[in-house]
Structure 1
Amino acid sequence: MMAGEDVQADNDLNWYVVLTKPRQENRAQRHLAEQGGEVFLPLLTVEKLRNGKRLTQQEVMFPGYLFLRCRAQSPLLNKVRSTPGARMLLRFGNEPVVVFATLVDNLRDRLEQHETTLFSEQQSVRITSGPFKDYQALFKQYDGEQRAIVLINLLNKQQELLVELNHLSA
């Protein structure tokens, strides 16, 4: 196989959107992968409070959907409806929806960045918006799913400040 043929082979692959049965995204992912498809199920790591304890768990980013990469003429596209956990391909009219590879790649990159931005105790963080924008602080702890308590030096004294997680960067 020549180098040009390898590029051409990659260009024949498309990403499609598969609709899944409720809460069966993992099952559909497993069975589609077993049938030879490349499957991408975007997962987010989230922290939740349960009974006063902080738990980290993975949740599906798009409940009821996943991405399948295969050739346009692949028999796998016709098998989606009979795959356990899957319902059908997302379609516009009679044609399955094709998703740009750059969109899927960008989504993967963003999820990888999100995974690395979880904060740990005593980690130095920067506040990115609000009245304390550009201040350095120390991460103390999470306060629910969307906020954190940070320690900031004000008037020569360390103060606790409640900040939205999306207003912090490492």
Structure 2
Amino acid sequence: MPWYVIYTKPRNEKKVAERLLQIGITVYCPMITMMKQWSDRKKKVQMPLLNSYVFVCLEEKEREQVFQVSGVVRYLFWLGKPAIVREDEIVALQEGLKDTMTSFEVKGIKIGDVLPIPTGPFQGKEGIIKQINKNSLQLILKELGVLITLNKEENK
């Protein structure tokens, strides 16, 4: 069965994935763990890797079932047809998310440099450095068309 990409309402990825599972649809919502800073505390939270996107595996004739779930907006289309993600791409994403990058060191690099990503969900990809901060680094992944931020994890 093919994997399709569903576009969800903002910040509804987890809820949509749970509701789709409840009605018997195979779903995958890639999640990453991030350290969030509030004024009074720090906390590790699970966040979707791809904002407003969830993958579903179902037959073409069953595609309309996803609209029974609140939070689903539409399917992602490519060249006028629903976008299909290959099984091996889903597996690669799942495998890549098993290992997460926990730290990095900024040494002798500057904005515009191309940096290979050694570990984590984007392992093997290259990013162009957009911004360098004290505890974070922003990279543009050209082939995926996304901007990612790598945060330095503080040792406790």
Counterpart secondary structure, 2:24: coil
Equivalents in 2 of 1:148, 1:25: separation in Å?
A: 25
The one-letter amino acid paired with 1:107 is L
After TM superposition, list the pairs within 5 Å mapping 1:1-170 onto structure 2.
13-51=1-39, 53-73=41-61, 75=62, 77-114=63-100, 118=102, 130=107, 146-148=151-153
**Identity fraction in percent:** 21
- Which structure shows the higher helix fraction? 1
Tell me the CA shift for residue 110 of structure 1. Answer: 1.1
Gaps of 5+ in 1: 1-12, 120-126, 132-142, 151-170
Equivalents in 2 of 1:80, 1:148: separation in Å?
A: 37
The one-letter amino acid paired with 1:58 is Q
Task: Report the TM-score when normalising by structure 2.
Answer: 0.63
Question: Could you list the per-position Cα deviations for residues 2-57 of structure 1 after superposition, in whole angstroms to 9, with x for gaps in the alignment?
Answer: xxxxxxxxxxx111000111211122112211222111001110012222633111
Q: Is the 8 A contact 1:80 1:87 kept in 2?
A: no
Q: Is the 8 A contact 1:48 1:144 kept in 2?
A: no
Equivalents in 2 of 1:96, 1:148: separation in Å?
A: 38
**Regions of 4+ moved over 6 Å:** none
**Is the radius of gyration larger for structure 1 or structure 2?**
1
Task: Report the TM-score when normalising by structure 1.
Answer: 0.58
Counterpart secondary structure, 1:62: coil
Counterpart secondary structure, 2:89: helix
- Which structure shows the higher strand fraction? 1
Q: CA RMSD in A?
A: 2.6
Equivalents in 1 of 2:8, 2:154: separation in Å?
A: 38
The one-letter amino acid paired with 2:24 is G
